[in-house]
Structure 1
Amino acid sequence: MARPAEFDRKEVLDKAMKVFWRTGYTATSVTDLVNATDLKPGSIYGAFNSKRGLFLEVIDAYANNSLTRIQHCMEQRDSAIESIHLFFSRMTEEISCDTIGKGCLMINTLLELATEDDEVRERVTQYLNQIEHHLYLTLEKGRLNGELQPDTDTESLAKMLMTGIWGLRVLSTTRPDPSVYPGVVSHLLSAIPAIH
């Protein structure tokens, strides 16, 4: 029996992620992945079963990394409102640096494959729902500790902020002047009924 090829799985996922992110799932060929990862086709199939198997693992890795960063961001401030402002500030910095309009891998994937691949749609939707849940928990914390009006519908507010995130991520693919982002974010965050 041939010995399995040895490689750094995380490094391969990072390299494959850049390809999928830049060109999308459908337009990415196995040859593209071979060139990016320096693995032979047999090694890719042996480790991930298929291009789709590699893509699913890339999605999971991207989601886990993003959720870890979001959770860390939400926990950095005692104030719930400050935590949300910090989150949007960091996202604004990130998309302002997106000079090629690559957008968000998850949202790009959903827009590309949602009607074609139920498993991919469910995975990405679950990830986006977790982001929304982090927003909801943070807003609810703010409502309970007196930062928000006591009758604030934190569930709907979280959905509104999530819709804003979607919009900002899609907007970034058009490569606008980065100066547009702060104003958009300011309007979004002004919907939070803070008690001053």
Structure 2
Amino acid sequence: MARPRKFDREDILNRMKLAFWENGYNDISMDDVGRITNLNRGSIYNAFGDKRALYLEALELYGQQHYGAAVELIQQADNTPTAVQQLYEGAFKSMKDDQARWGCFMCNAAVEVAPADPEVAIIVKKYIATLSKAFLHSLQKSYPTANTIKYPKNIAEQLTSSYIGFNVMARTGMTIASLRRISDASVEVVTA
């Protein structure tokens, strides 16, 4: 008879999410996974599969948590300029300690893993599209007539690209002042 699992799956996924987010996929070995999770290889393989399967699950969890929160923030804001400003302010607040240099796990995955892994690319595209759709919906709600703001889909994609670029630049160590200019410019784009 198999022994029941004696670990919290969500806790393990959150720990691995942080490890992959900080270090990337390629710099985490199975020995690292064992050390981070306090599980032996057999338990890891039985519960999650291989390192790649664990990475995919951790990336999905990040998408649900972080992109889900971003979409909810955008949906609840009174208008698009407020939504964009609040989204960036949330990003600035999260830039504390060492996490400032981590950037966005989804963006990191897009650069490091997605070009060689179609499943990772699908996850990245899904969450980026979700963010872009939230911006588009916000724009359509804030500016219901086409004359107020032209090409709302293009602007939604521009806001998404700017936010993703902001997160990539945060990982490079760009100064807060420079990041603040990116966020200010994004708010200007949607201020009619």
* Common fold by TM > 0.5: yes
Task: Tell me by how many angstroms 1:181 deviates.
Answer: 1.9
Moved over 4 A (4+): 96-100
1:106 aligns with 2:106: yes
Q: In the TM superposition, what are the counterparts of 1:1-196 in structure 2 within 5 Å?
A: 1-95=1-95, 101-144=101-144, 149-194=147-192
Alignment deviations for residues 145-187 of structure 1 (CA, whole Å, 9 cap, x no partner): x7x8535211000111111112111111121221222222112
RMSD over aligned CA atoms reads 1.9
Task: Tell me by how many angstroms 1:68 deviates.
Answer: 2.6
TM-score of the two chains, using structure 1 as the length reference = 0.89
Task: Tell me by how many angstroms 1:192 deviates.
Answer: 1.7
More helix, by proportion? 2
Q: Percent identity?
A: 26
- Contact 1:16-1:36 within 8 A present in 2 as well: yes
TM-score of the two chains, using structure 2 as the length reference = 0.91
- For structure 1, the residue ranges without an aligned partner over 5 or more in a row are none
**Which secondary structure does the structure 1 equivalent of 2:101 belong to?**
coil
Alignment deviations for residues 9-36 of structure 1 (CA, whole Å, 9 cap, x no partner): 1100011112111221122111101111
Given residue 55 of structure 1, which amino acid in structure 2 is its aligned partner? Y
Task: Tell me by how many angstroms 1:98 deviates.
Answer: 5.1
CA change 1:118–1:36 in 2 (3 A) is same
- For structure 2, the residue ranges without an aligned partner over 5 or more in a row are none
1-structure distance, mates of 2:143, 2:96: 31
2-structure distance, mates of 1:7, 1:80: 42
Task: Tell me by how many angstroms 1:114 deviates.
Answer: 2.2
